[in-house]
Amino acid sequence: MDHAINSTQPSPRTRVLLSRQKIAQRTAELGAQICADLAHEEATLRAAGITPGPIVLVPVLTGALVFAADLIRQMPVSLSIRPVTLSSYPGSATSSQGVSVPYALPTDLAGTRVLVIDDILDSGRTLGLLSRVFAAQHPQSIRLAVLLDKRKPNGRAEEVPIQYAGFTIDDLFVVGYGLDYDGLYRNLPEVCELLLPT
């Protein structure tokens, strides 16, 4: 399917992998599951005489912008949001070039209950780095949520345990619903495979 976004953005050649409806349904399921787990954690902490810490969501910008915006509206709990900006696919690269951290990361997560939200798990470097940096601050808990888990038949640069994954997809380059190619196509409403010219 060709998407016409506006008159100045050329239509990328794409194939829809995940429709808006599928994404919306799965996001609602994930929100419900995360809230149930947080409620269970809260009860466990209280039973142990520990006051549950505040829930802090950490969306990884820019890719997780759209997913996080939808996910938080499926989470009717008291929470705050601390976005971070990381980059691993500079320009028109379609494979991870290593993670750069252009802005400071939060340093005050001690005693909080952290949910890191990313668009996609690929090499694992982004979420590996964030979980190490955040764990060192001793939060009460850290959970990782991704919309997409990319199948890597030969393994990842870093194997990161993910608690919540929306969909497992093949090792394709995808755009839309927040994911970009060279900064573009984040505004496509579906997750699409980008068909690059051969």
Residues that bind ligand IMP (CB under 6 A): 60, 63, 88-89, 96, 99, 118-126, 173-175, 179-180
Please check whether residue 25 is in contact with residue 166, taking contact to mean a CB–CB distance below 8 angstroms. Answer: no
The single residue listed with the structure tokens 């969501």 is 57
Q: Does 63 bind Mg ion (CB under 5 A)?
A: yes
Shortest spacing between CB 44 and Mg ion, in angstroms: 32
- The CA distance from 92 to 192, in Å, is 17
Q: Does 178 bind Mg ion (CB under 5 A)?
A: no
Provide the pairing of β-strand 191-194 with 174-175. Answer: antiparallel
The rounded radius of gyration (Å) of the Cα atoms in the chain is 17
Shortest spacing between CB 118 and ligand IMP, in angstroms: 5
The answer to whether residue 118 is catalytic is: no
Shortest spacing between CB 98 and ligand IMP, in angstroms: 9
Copy the structure tokens of residue 113.
């209950």
- In the list ligand IMP, Mg ion, none, the entry touching 174 (Cβ below 5 to 8 angstroms by class) is ligand IMP
- Amino acid 131 reads S
Q: Which one of 47-55, 61-69, 104-112, 186-194 is the stretch in contact with Mg ion (CB under 5 A)?
A: 61-69
